[in-house]
Structure 1
């Protein structure tokens, strides 16, 4: 079900692109300046960028009258990427996998920076020429055809640099290819001397200015494409290279639109834990956070991708249609009947000495509730409300009035307690599966691939094509996936063993709070919070280094956030600001927690340090506010 983002031809890619992915772009995505697109691995950055390259844009406009291209074209037209049946954007895609990280010692910092800029300049020019040729229906490898294309450029405020301002596409291609060849020749020979007379070193990233002011002309007719320069996988660059790229793209005050895509892990702890989230000279999109603000849209987006991947595999199925959203089937009916009987006995026995509680229970039993699962939930809600009422010491034998209106979250808390206590399925159905992905599309596809094995086994191997995969089977599959994910933490995350200890203790704390009889944080606890002062302490610990008692904790939390193990959000409670770190939703399944957001516990940094070192104690949980 999973598929390489760069393995399919342009038409196949465009056909399988989910138009809903475009919703995460800001309103002014093509505003001059830089747009930073970040996510954990698998957030969908590469697919998003690739959609704006000439091939997919061309295929979409060419096939805009038929499905599914029509929907993609409509969305692209809304944001100004296409118009009047033609692409309007000249997407120049630069991958960071092209040997840039090999540039370094023994070169001095200055010469290494010059070589890096020279190689990047050459490739921006080459990719731009190829993109214009593609959109102008010119065969790039045909010299005669390419000779129709010329580049004119107005002198910039800055020095014109080392890129020819104007000339034929053939001349510019020859210049750029020679620069690229010289750069690669130096890297391939693995020289030990610090440079030489043949080392190409450019003073600036002049291709940004060149592309911004370039006028492409085909047979004396100007080409009306707006350039969009896209850098992908920037986390693969060396830190100083990333700084050079950022500096050059931010300082060039031009009309050029620049998108920079990178994984969140590229941020150092001080950057990630900085209290300021405002960027003065560029926009930032954190994809998981953007989708979290569009929960329903993410589900729609995820389902569209799942359906397309199934079609790619030659399977004509709708993903949501083969996953049951009914919590109880024939196999799990005995457990439900046992749950109802046990809840009745428990409630009636406890209410025998309190007339008002007996009245509450009887009101549920006498209600016209034909759905057995709903009846069990109502009984579970009553159990929580009675426990809360007892906690308030408000027992009043003469007051038979029913409980106050049910607070928000209590029905969901009752369901989670019910399903765990009596072995009923909880993690099932497309809505909950989409939420378990923590708004990361690769995580959703991993979940989908795991469930697909069950779907395939039921429908193809067993020949059961008439029914959906039951909730109990989905729950079992997802619990196994969650257990595997937790076990992989020690190997798959920086500071893995420390991270695993911290996550385990957070999960145990959350589970204890979630299953408290009064459900005080309904529907349940799934994260922890720190104060602004604590966050500043963590940020300061990074600059102080290992001498700070919080340094290791800051490193561990940053690693978890960058890998989508913890999700960081800002919130307010009691008039105070807090930073909340929620557990990855799949890991919530490992600890039998709710899939909802909301409930969290404030935890002091000193306690978090103990937990990271494997010194979590049960007494810690009871002391929490």
Structure 2
């Protein structure tokens, strides 16, 4: 493995990882979350930001991976059993599904742009010969050899009448002959491409439909007298790298062919509409969509179990840190001595913040309740102090003058208290007295924004800390304390935002926008009455504001065009999380753009969703141009 010193740095989709290592790291819960319909005939599109796990899913169904799962058997018993149950592997004879993996990352951008017959014909021709070529090479991997002798021995039978009507793909009898045809056909396409660059009237390929799909689902493969790979699965990755016209052509024609085998298309999420869909294609009927963020857990919190499975399998690959689980080295609670110190500071802040209301009989019982507790103060005592400050500030802002002297009973405090208020109190403690907040497995998973690659990046930083403690052989706590976890996680967040200008097309503008959104959210989160408890972590564009962006032509150089381009990229790259906001009687619908949860830790914001504020495209234009300066001297006391 390339990064054996830190197994959390290895990406399973990378080809530097062997198939055996891939099987060891592959989490069986991936298959548990995979919809049964995915292996039925039709078009299935997987969407996620980069690092969401698309390529990992596709690689799991490639021949070498399936053979490794089959041979591994007991080693990966959960995954093996699921593949057997779904008919992908037969316990006796091995893999039954020929997974054909093709990437759109190279070659297709070289084809002529536009929607002309020439560009469409060349695109079909190139894709057809590559699918045929990749299918036959995958077939060799499935039977255990890609040698010339094996390819000559692999026979192709054409019993389906559909195949007799193919116009562009020949019906050779051996795999070796078909490979030679496909390789020659690819050379011809590029030769014609070179000719087209200089001779506009050069002959274009005659391919008028994607015939490779019909060929792949109908041909029978025979090896040593027995039929092999009776099931087929075509997997096309990185479709976002195709031009929009190519993508539309691909989906339209595949849907029109109504494939009897499953066709998986994988690509990155893009904001503002179904960019992967062409007109006339009906989601849910012609095409099945799968959002990997929702598949891994969505808002239900199931990502924690999925993530824990991934982390533990990676943790088992190393031998420096003893133990069976990653979580056992993450302290989930503060040390009692540290809590005592934090409580004293919280009490000092409480006394200063409530000094002017101590003589007000309205709050006498609330104040007494907040400070009456056991001699040995715990974390909940400090939360109680901040909760009281929040509720007093809310009451002061809302009460009627005629009721100023009416005392508030403790029962009234309980009625107004809520989990959101206490969550606000917790992030206030992190902001004001630096109580660790970003620690523990659940918050590690929340910081990952349902993204596997981000989870591994954060876990890698924590693992480095675990390994350092083992190297120093410290007595006492071998695990990472909450403050140590938070420091390492925030370091990852700081590097993430610093790296944006170097890693994204609109990097400088995106960084400025994200910093402005973070500043905007902080200014509205850290107000002592917590009006948007537990805090604001996103902005919303109403439907009318979004229409302003959608109406702008791509050729326009206006500020609105820049905003749309920057937001599109931020959503596509998982820097912003877009969620629809329904209309109500008091407001129109719109789209909320939440900060990536790792970035929330950089700005010191809570990790819950739900808190957002409306903004206009004009505000966004100003933020992108000049940034947003924070409110100077913002303190919780100043808001009282």
1:141 aligns with 2:141: no
2:399 matched to which residue of 1? 393
Between the aligned partners of 2:99 and 2:467, the Cα distance in structure 1 is: 39
1:15 matched to which residue of 2? 24
2:490 matched to which residue of 1? 479
Q: Following TM superposition, by how much is the alpha carbon of 1:131 offset from its aligned partner in structure 2, in angstroms? A: 3.0
Instruction: Trace 1:423-442 onto structure 2 (pairs within 5 A).
Output: 423-442=434-453
Conserved? CA contact 2:140–2:151, under 8 Å = no
Conserved? CA contact 1:369–1:375, under 8 Å = no
Between the aligned partners of 2:282 and 2:363, the Cα distance in structure 1 is: 50
1:469 aligns with 2:480: yes
1:226 aligns with 2:235: no
Structure 1, 403-412 or 155-164: larger mean CA deviation: 155-164
1:588 aligns with 2:600: yes
2:309 matched to which residue of 1? 304
Instruction: Trace 1:376-391 onto structure 2 (pairs within 5 A).
Output: 376-391=382-397
Between the aligned partners of 2:398 and 2:513, the Cα distance in structure 1 is: 34
* Secondary structure in structure 2 of the residue aligned to 1:533: helix
Deviations 1:462-481 (A, max 9, x none): 55585211111111122222
Alpha-carbon spacing, 1:274–1:357, altered in 2? closer, same or farther (3 Å): farther
2:369 matched to which residue of 1? 363
2:334 matched to which residue of 1? 327
1:598 aligns with 2:630: no
1:101 aligns with 2:109: yes
Instruction: Trace 1:402-551 onto structure 2 (pairs within 5 A).
Output: 402=410, 403=413, 404-463=415-474, 466-541=477-552, 543=553, 545-546=555-556, 550-551=560-561
Deviations 1:135-175 (A, max 9, x none): 3x353314267425333241229941211246233332332
2:381 matched to which residue of 1? 375
Q: Following TM superposition, by how much is the alpha carbon of 1:70 offset from its aligned partner in structure 2, in angstroms? A: 0.9
Q: Following TM superposition, by how much is the alpha carbon of 1:249 offset from its aligned partner in structure 2, in angstroms? A: 2.0
* Secondary structure in structure 1 of the residue aligned to 2:232: strand
Alpha-carbon spacing, 1:383–1:327, altered in 2? closer, same or farther (3 Å): same
Q: How many residues align?
A: 612
Alpha-carbon spacing, 1:338–1:79, altered in 2? closer, same or farther (3 Å): farther
Conserved? CA contact 1:269–1:558, under 8 Å = no
Q: Following TM superposition, by how much is the alpha carbon of 1:208 offset from its aligned partner in structure 2, in angstroms? A: 0.8
1:284 matched to which residue of 2? 289
Structure 1, 45-54 or 488-497: larger mean CA deviation: 488-497
Q: Following TM superposition, by how much is the alpha carbon of 1:426 offset from its aligned partner in structure 2, in angstroms? A: 1.2
Conserved? CA contact 1:408–1:522, under 8 Å = no
* Secondary structure in structure 1 of the residue aligned to 2:582: strand
Between the aligned partners of 1:522 and 1:361, the Cα distance in structure 2 is: 21
Of 102, 123, 146 in structure 1, the residue corresponding to residue 130 of structure 2 is 123
CA RMSD of superposed structures (Å):
3.3
Q: Following TM superposition, by how much is the alpha carbon of 1:183 offset from its aligned partner in structure 2, in angstroms? A: 4.1
Q: What TM-score do the two structures reach when normalised by structure 2?
A: 0.86
Alpha-carbon spacing, 1:90–1:595, altered in 2? closer, same or farther (3 Å): same
Structure 1, 288-297 or 513-522: larger mean CA deviation: 288-297
Between the aligned partners of 2:145 and 2:278, the Cα distance in structure 1 is: 49
Deviations 1:2-35 (A, max 9, x none): 1142222222211211112234433411232211
Structure 1, 220-229 or 274-283: larger mean CA deviation: 274-283
Between the aligned partners of 1:244 and 1:263, the Cα distance in structure 2 is: 18
Between the aligned partners of 2:60 and 2:439, the Cα distance in structure 1 is: 32
* Secondary structure in structure 1 of the residue aligned to 2:551: helix
Alpha-carbon spacing, 1:269–1:566, altered in 2? closer, same or farther (3 Å): same
* Secondary structure in structure 1 of the residue aligned to 2:266: strand
Conserved? CA contact 1:42–1:442, under 8 Å = yes
Q: Following TM superposition, by how much is the alpha carbon of 1:279 offset from its aligned partner in structure 2, in angstroms? A: 5.7
Deviations 1:434-483 (A, max 9, x none): 11111111111111222222222222245558521111111112222222
1:252 matched to which residue of 2? 257
Between the aligned partners of 2:106 and 2:515, the Cα distance in structure 1 is: 39
2:638 matched to which residue of 1? none
1:557 aligns with 2:599: no
Q: Following TM superposition, by how much is the alpha carbon of 1:563 offset from its aligned partner in structure 2, in angstroms? A: 0.9
Alpha-carbon spacing, 1:574–1:408, altered in 2? closer, same or farther (3 Å): farther
Between the aligned partners of 1:490 and 1:607, the Cα distance in structure 2 is: 22
Any gaps of 5 or more consecutive residues in structure 1? Answer: none
1:70 matched to which residue of 2? 77
1:41 matched to which residue of 2? 50
Q: Following TM superposition, by how much is the alpha carbon of 1:548 offset from its aligned partner in structure 2, in angstroms? A: 5.7
Between the aligned partners of 1:570 and 1:545, the Cα distance in structure 2 is: 27
* Secondary structure in structure 1 of the residue aligned to 2:133: helix
Q: Following TM superposition, by how much is the alpha carbon of 1:390 offset from its aligned partner in structure 2, in angstroms? A: 1.0
* Secondary structure in structure 2 of the residue aligned to 1:29: helix
Between the aligned partners of 2:590 and 2:104, the Cα distance in structure 1 is: 36
* Secondary structure in structure 1 of the residue aligned to 2:56: helix
2:637 matched to which residue of 1? none
Between the aligned partners of 2:577 and 2:189, the Cα distance in structure 1 is: 41
Q: Following TM superposition, by how much is the alpha carbon of 1:368 offset from its aligned partner in structure 2, in angstroms? A: 5.4
Of 163, 170, 181 in structure 2, the residue corresponding to residue 175 of structure 1 is 181
Of 90, 97, 106 in structure 1, the residue corresponding to residue 98 of structure 2 is 90
Conserved? CA contact 2:331–2:482, under 8 Å = yes
Conserved? CA contact 1:22–1:75, under 8 Å = yes
Conserved? CA contact 1:138–1:146, under 8 Å = no
Between the aligned partners of 1:617 and 1:245, the Cα distance in structure 2 is: 46
Any gaps of 5 or more consecutive residues in structure 2? Answer: 1-7, 635-640
1:152 matched to which residue of 2? 158
